[in-house]
Amino acid sequence: MKKLILAVFLLCGIAYLSPSEALAQEVINTEVDIKTQEKVEKSKEKLEKYKSKRQKEIEKHDKMRAKFDSDNASGKLSPNDVEKMTKKLNKQTKSIEKLDKKIAKLEEYIAENS
């Protein structure tokens, strides 16, 4: 009877300490790494998209600013027009700042996970 109990404990101990659990853990880690790499790739794509969008916004802002300055200097704008254009320019500036924050956040994420 003692030998049977000892054999059962021995088999349970071997099954408990088997390397299959370690292998399963390793597989999970590689899956997480694959997912992280996929997220990094998507982040790189978003980063490029945000950079091009930021460049377009800056060009648009500069063009509007130049037109506003020339029209305002020649006296073609009423006070209401000046106020409207100023609001538009401020709104575009805020949009550019938001894009800068998004770009910085994505660059930080990519640097951490690369």
Q: What is the pLDDT of residues 88-104, one digit of tens each?
A: 999 999 999 999 999 99
Q: Is residue 12 one of the residues assigned to a domain? A: no
Number of domains in the chain: 1
Domain that residue 30 falls in:
24-113
Q: What is the pLDDT of residues 27-59, one digit of tens each?
A: 566 776 888 889 999 999 999 999 999 999 999
Q: Is residue 107 one of the residues assigned to a domain? A: yes
Q: What is the DSSP string of 25-45?
A: HHHHHHHHHHHHHHHHHHHHH
Q: Is residue 51 one of the residues assigned to a domain? A: yes
Q: Is residue 6 one of the residues assigned to a domain? A: no
Q: Is residue 62 one of the residues assigned to a domain? A: yes
pTM as predicted: 0.69
